Amino acid sequence: MSYIFTVRETDDDVWEPALAVGQLFMGGVEALSKRILRMPSGLDDLSGDWVMVDPAAYGEFVDAALKRRGRTGHSEFITLLDGLLPVMIMLADKAGATVTPATQAERAYLEWARDEDRVLRGHVWGKGDGGSVFVGNPGVIHP
């Protein structure tokens, strides 16, 4: 059994993760939407395993999450968000939602999140001056 994510305007199924993956993802999105960003996510869970994606609203939600990540220095918050935000970006790309980075750090993060080898390459952290810095994983050789 799996979750199905369908684009509202086109009726295209764009992601079908395993049920537990969909439940975990939607739980994270719901917490981010209701408790942190206090805005609609653009994802409408119709039946507990079928989600309609509104690309415009979802793109705004992902933009807000990306911006929120860049404004925090709390390492545990960033670590938790870094488990969710790359998947959110992947779904945005598949659903045709526009994600618009506003800073160099946000652009660097999007590039990292879209990199299939991101787990091996480390993380992108924003600096106080608006720039970004790459922090590699120890013991990993980077090309």
Q: Which residues contact 52 (CB under 8 A, 6 or more apart)?
A: 6, 7, 8, 43, 44, 46
Length of the chain: 143
pLDDT in tens, 67-83: 999 999 898 999 999 99
Give the Cβ contact number of residue 10 at 10 Å: 12
Q: Is 37 left (phi over 0), alpha (psi -120 to 50) or beta?
A: alpha
Distance, CA of 45 to CA of 142 (rounded, Å): 40
pTM as predicted: 0.83
Structure confidence by residue, pLDDT tens digits, 52-70: 999 999 999 999 999 999 9
**How far is residue 55's CA from residue 73's CA, in Å, rounded to a whole number?**
29
What is the rounded average pLDDT of the residues 9-31? 96
User: Is residue 124 scored above 60 in pLDDT?
Assistant: no
Residue 5 one-letter amino acid: F
| Tokens read off for 10 | 């086109």
